Amino acid sequence: MKTYNDALLDISNNKEIQFYIDTLWLLKHSMKNNLNASDVIIKLLAIENYFGENDFGFELYNKMQKIRVLNNPKVPNYRAYNKARFIKIINSFQKEGFNEKHPIIINNEFMLFEGTHRMACALYFKIKRIPVTFDERMINLKTDYSINWFKKNNLEDYEPHIIKRYKRLLKEWK
């Protein structure tokens, strides 16, 4: 008899499987105890900036993106200047909702791996369930955009914004 983890690995090796998962659960699970997916919150603040709800979100986002891209040689440099592309995603969500053809990619621990811009849009537009899929190439990869990542990259001033917005998000979604 297979264990739960064995069954999960079998499922996660099948690229054809796409399923829906509770949006807030996925974010909370990805945040864990160290606010591991804090980049999603920065992206949420950027969306709010786009809609005039704050005046700093895109400034935080742009600075974070530049550091993320410059520290990762696998990511093309043009992705450091991603604001226009992100605005297209925001507008697409506003008009059409979540496009099922582009699910969020998670690893076998149900942690966000790819699609954090879409995740932030789903949170902003209060989309309760989102499509996700596994990618076998991501099984053992980890991402860390926790508060510690922000501190290591001299972005410690982001911490109060992240914590405040995350707490507010949890209250809004109850």
Question: Would residue 41 be called left, alpha or beta, if left means φ above 0 and alpha means ψ between -120 and 50 degrees?
Answer: alpha
Those residues with Cβ within 8 angstroms of residue 172's Cβ, 6 or more apart along the chain or in another chain: none
Those residues with Cβ within 8 angstroms of residue 26's Cβ, 6 or more apart along the chain or in another chain: 104, 106, 110, 112, 119, 130, 132
Burial level of 78, CB count in 10 A (0-12/13-18/19+)? Answer: exposed
Question: Could you report the per-residue pLDDT of 38-61, keeping only the tens digit for each?
Answer: 999 999 999 999 999 999 999 999
User: What mean pLDDT is reported for the chain?
Assistant: 87
Whole-angstrom Cα distance, residue 125 to residue 142? 27
Whole-angstrom Cα distance, residue 108 to residue 90? 28
Q: Using alpha carbons, select from 25, 21, 9 the residue that is nearest to residue 169.
A: 25
Question: Could you report the per-residue pLDDT of 2-43, keeping only the tens digit for each?
Answer: 554 555 555 555 556 889 999 999 999 999 888 999 999 999
pLDDT computed for residue 123 by the predictor: 98
Whether 142 shows a pLDDT value over 80: the answer reads: no
Q: Using alpha carbons, select from 40, 54, 1, 21 the residue that is nearest to residue 143.
A: 40
Confidence of residue 76 (pLDDT cuts 50, 70, 90): confident
Query: How far, CA to CA in Å, does 38 sit from each of 3, 18, 64, 172?
Result: 32, 25, 11, 17
Whether 158 shows a pLDDT value over 80: the answer reads: yes
Strands 104-106 and 129-134: parallel
Whether 93 shows a pLDDT value over 70: the answer reads: yes
Q: What is the arithmetic mean of pLDDT over 91-95?
A: 97
Q: What is the arithmetic mean of pLDDT over 148-169?
A: 95
Count of all residues that appear for the chain in the document: 174
Whether 147 shows a pLDDT value over 70: the answer reads: yes
Look at the pTM and tell me if it is higher than 0.85: yes
Q: What is the arithmetic mean of pLDDT over 82-101?
A: 95
